[in-house]
């Protein structure tokens, strides 16, 4: 994988992770910062943050597992079936 592409994808996933964690902090520690205070919206916002965090963690794990090596290719330890 091209190093620029790898770094872009990694930076985007790290930014999404930071955004999700900041959302959780806002939702749990500063609820006055939420525009609509209904319970439904609160749970939907929590669920959205969890999905974003999960996606970011998964993308970082995949990038590390398959593309984080000195050759910039798929790691030799993984087989492609």
**What is the predicted pLDDT for the residue at 79?**
47
Query: Within a domain: residue 60?
Result: yes
In a domain, 7, yes or no: yes
pTM attached to this predicted model: 0.77
Across the range 28-53, mean pLDDT stands at: 81
pLDDT computed for residue 33 by the predictor: 58
Q: For the segment 13-38, what is each residue's pLDDT rounded down to a tens digit?
A: 999 999 999 999 988 887 665 666 66
Residue whose tokens read 């993984």: 78
Listing DSSP states for 12-55 in one string gives: HHHHHHHHHHHHHHHHHH-GGG-S---HHHHHHHHHHHHHHHHH
Residue 50 lies in a domain: yes
| pLDDT at site 76 | 45
Does the residue 79 lie in any domain?
no
Q: What mean pLDDT, rounded, does the chain reach?
A: 83
pLDDT of residue 30: 77
Q: Which domain holds residue 54?
A: 3-67
Is 74 domain-assigned? no
Residue 72, in any domain of the structure: no
State how many domains the chain has: 1
């Amino acid at each position: 994988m091209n190093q620029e592409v790898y770094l872009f994808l990694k930076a985007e996933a790290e930014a999404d992770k930071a955004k999700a964690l900041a959302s959780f902090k806002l939702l749990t520690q500063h609820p006055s910062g939420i525009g609509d205070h209904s319970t439904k919206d609160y749970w939907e916002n929590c669920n959205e943050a969890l999905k974003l965090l999960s996606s970011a963690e998964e993308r970082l794990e995949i990038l590390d597992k398959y593309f984080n090596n000195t050759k910039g290719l798929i790691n030799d330890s993984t087989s492609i079936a």
